[in-house]
């Protein structure tokens, strides 16, 4: 008998609370015993205080993740949300370990920095999946809007044409950071092994200085593309209140990055000169950064709990295996498709043969739809390609698609087309064929 919502939803929450209490009962005495065993210094006190914040942070984040898994009714929206929520516990645990063991900080921080780029990528996926559900042909919606100029400091640059051009470049601007950040992280590891990294030391002889500049430029451009994307589609995104969600992502990413730079400047200026129990003053700067992140993640966990709440996804007719939503959380097929699509589009652009994006040849549209092609589907293709939905599984934002649903021409945004244009003729003919095929299928 499958483990459905009628039983597992009752015991999963008490189980998490029980495990958390057991963790506190076991973890806190171990930390106290560790403090009593050794001579307590500034380093150890900082590590212990940071551990208390970690113990308060993780259950808040895991509770939000668990609630989304329990009410996993809209995979295309909740999967990126769950990935974003994992940022806080990853940052918190990573910083706590790096604070305790400074010698391996560069290695454990690799996971944190790579996941930082992954979070920005998933936030873009979240916005695009919502817009695709609400406006299946997003490119046409953009073309109907007034031309948007660039925001400062790029206001002097030529504007991106509304439609596919703006959509593609905003996506590419976000995705480039997901490539640049892991690459610079690997380079940092290599430089650390060869002794030329010099973390926290601003010097033309250290690789850290140049990598900070590259990461900063890449990160700022990714955030700029997100802001431009929101400004252009502000009206369409208002129902999901994206400002709070954007600030949660932006503050964690930006604050953690810039406070590391600020602390490094204080070390360079001699403001921070005492080493306490650390070997070098640069290790003090790294430890201070890790300690502050442990404290900040508690505040971030509370903000994420309210900004990325599970409540909009609670439905009465919820049914499914208790392992289905957990396994879906680890599915990365959409990431592989996005990377492949990005490489193909960049290659076509370099060769001077850009892909025609007005009508997408790939009619598949589900939660694994490519990030760089999801917005160019027409409404009929999007509606007809969604797989049959079992009872209680919501395939779109606020709507249920059943196997008996037949797409109608009413979903076509006719005001966006001209009756005498060749595009309109092609569009109507294509959808007529889809409707005939659907009717024949129902008759059979």
Using an 8 Å Cβ cutoff, are 16 and 62 in contact? yes
Give the C-alpha separation, 391 to 15, whole Å. 28
Instruction: Tell me whether the omega of the peptide bond preceding residue 153 falls within 30 degrees of 0, making it cis.
Output: yes
Instruction: Tell me whether the omega of the peptide bond preceding residue 145 falls within 30 degrees of 0, making it cis.
Output: no
Q: Annotate 329-358 with three-state secondary structure.
A: HCCCHHHHHHHHHHHHHHHHHHCCCCCCCC
* pLDDT on residue 353: 63
Q: Nearest 5°: CA angle at 262, between 261 and 267?
A: 95
Give the C-alpha separation, 285 to 199, whole Å. 9
Bridge partners of 396?
399
- How many domains does the structure of the chain reveal? 1
Q: Residue 399 falls within a domain, yes or no?
A: no
* pLDDT on residue 323: 65
Q: Residue 329 falls within a domain, yes or no?
A: no
Q: Residue 243 falls within a domain, yes or no?
A: yes
Q: The domain containing residue 301 runs over which residues?
A: 5-313
* pLDDT on residue 342: 67
Strand spans (E) along 166-280: none
Q: Residue 347 falls within a domain, yes or no?
A: no
Q: Residue 420 falls within a domain, yes or no?
A: no
Which CATH number goes with the domain that contains 289? 1.20.1070
Q: Residue 181 falls within a domain, yes or no?
A: yes
Q: Residue 378 falls within a domain, yes or no?
A: no
Using an 8 Å Cβ cutoff, are 13 and 65 in contact? no
* pLDDT on residue 96: 92
* pLDDT on residue 126: 92
pTM of the model: 0.71
Using an 8 Å Cβ cutoff, are 287 and 278 in contact? yes
* pLDDT on residue 361: 40
Q: Residue 251 falls within a domain, yes or no?
A: yes
How confident is the model over 99-147, as pLDDT tens digits?
888 888 888 877 788 888 889 889 988 999 999 888 888 888 888 888 8
Give the C-alpha separation, 174 to 127, whole Å. 12
How confident is the model over 226-276, as pLDDT tens digits?
999 999 998 888 888 888 898 888 888 888 878 888 888 888 787 877 777
- Residues of the chain where predicted confidence (pLDDT) is lower than 50: 1-5, 356-429, 431-432, 434-435, 438-439, 441-444
**What does each C-alpha distance from 140 to 158, 210, 384, 417, 422 come to in angstroms?**
21, 41, 19, 9, 15
* HSE (side-chain half, CA atoms, 13 Å) at 298: 13
């Amino acid at each position: 008998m499958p483990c459905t919502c009628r039983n597992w939803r009752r015991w999963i929450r008490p189980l998490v609370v029980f495990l958390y209490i057991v963790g506190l009962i076991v973890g806190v005495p171990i930390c106290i015993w560790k403090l009593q065993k050794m001579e307590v210094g500034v380093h150890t006190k900082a590590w212990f205080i940071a551990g208390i914040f970690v113990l308060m942070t993780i259950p808040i984040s895991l509770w939000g993740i668990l609630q989304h898994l329990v009410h996993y009714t809209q995979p295309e929206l909740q999967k990126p949300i769950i990935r974003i929520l994992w940022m806080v516990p990853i940052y918190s645990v990573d910083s706590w370990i790096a604070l305790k063991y400074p010698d391996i900080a560069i290695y454990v921080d690799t996971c944190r920095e790579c996941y930082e780029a992954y979070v920005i990528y998933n936030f873009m996926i979240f916005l695009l999946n919502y817009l695709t559900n609400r406006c299946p042909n997003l490119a046409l919606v953009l073309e109907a809007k007034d031309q948007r100029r660039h925001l400062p400091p790029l206001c002097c640059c030529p504007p991106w044409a509304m439609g596919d051009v703006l959509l593609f470049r905003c996506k590419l601007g976000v995705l480039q950071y997901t490539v640049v950040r892991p690459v610079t992280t690997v380079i940092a590891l290599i430089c650390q092994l060869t002794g030329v990294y010099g973390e926290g030391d601003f010097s033309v002889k250290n690789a850290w200085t140049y990598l900070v500049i590259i990461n900063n430029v890449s990160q700022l451009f990714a955030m700029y593309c997100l802001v431009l994307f929101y400004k252009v589609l502000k009206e369409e995104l208002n129902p999901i209140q994206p400002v709070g969600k954007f600030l949660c992502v932006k503050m964690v990413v930006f604050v953690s990055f810039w406070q590391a730079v600020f602390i490094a400047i204080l070390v360079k200026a001699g403001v921070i000169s005492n080493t306490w129990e650390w070997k070098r003053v640069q290790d003090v700067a790294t430890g201070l950064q890790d300690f502050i992140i442990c404290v900040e993640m508690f505040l971030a966990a509370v903000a994420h709990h309210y900004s990325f709440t599970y409540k909009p996804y609670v439905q009465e007719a919820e049914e499914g295996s208790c392992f289905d939503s957990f396994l879906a959380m680890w599915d990365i097929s959409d990431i592989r498709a996005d990377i492949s699509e990005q490489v193909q589009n960049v290659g076509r652009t370099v060769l001077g043969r850009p892909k025609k994006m007005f009508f997408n040849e790939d009619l598949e549209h589900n939660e694994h739809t490519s990030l760089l092609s999801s917005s160019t589907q027409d409404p009929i293709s999007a509606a007809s390609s969604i797989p049959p939905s079992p009872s209680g599984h919501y395939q779109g934002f606020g709507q249920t698609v059943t196997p008996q649903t037949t797409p109608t021409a009413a979903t076509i945004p006719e005001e966006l087309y001209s009756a005498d244009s060749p595009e309109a003729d092609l569009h109507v003919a294509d959808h007529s064929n889809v409707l005939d095929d659907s009717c024949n299928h129902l008759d059979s």
